Amino acid sequence: MSTPTSAPVAGDRGFAVAGNRRDTPATVSTFDLDAAWELNPKVALRPEPFGALLYHFGTRKLSFLKNLTVVGIVRSLAEHADAEAALAVAGIEAAERALYVQALTALADSGMIVRR
């Protein structure tokens, strides 16, 4: 699998979050790759040519996923025993791993994905 042309991280480098943003940084958490995750039932994922839009009906947050691999991983989380398996099936190599874990961490911190 090739490295994504836009890195799936928070901000303007491939994984962007917009909408009800706060000016203060969110609390940084450690993403548990050994846990079972899924798209939050309160979140709608709408595919777009650039990736996908995520809308959280509870918080009214809108997120843009600008990386098709991240979209695929998010969609597949519920099908796997844990996030580690979802990354493995997506073919994420060790060199790319930190970027994808960072993207999943941002999605978990914003409530877009939740533990099962």
Domains and CATH numbers, the chain: 37-115 (3.90.930)
Tokens of 26: 């969110």
End-to-end CA distance of the chain: 28
Q: What SS3 class is residue 64?
A: strand
Question: 8 or 9: which carries more pLDDT confidence?
Answer: 8
Per-residue b/e over 9-46, b at no fewer than 16 CB within 10 Å? bbeeebbbbeeeeeeeeeeeeebeeeebbbbbeebebe
3-state secondary structure of 78: helix
Confidence of residue 10 (pLDDT cuts 50, 70, 90): very low
- Confidence class for position 69, pLDDT limits 50, 70, 90: very high
Alpha-carbon distance 112 to 92, whole Å? 21
Cβ-in-10-Å burial (0-12, 13-18, 19+) of 79 comes to exposed
pTM of the shown model: 0.76
Contact criterion met (CB below 8 Å) for 55 and 43: yes
* Statement: residue 62 has pLDDT above 50: yes
Q: Is 11 left (phi over 0), alpha (psi -120 to 50) or beta?
A: left
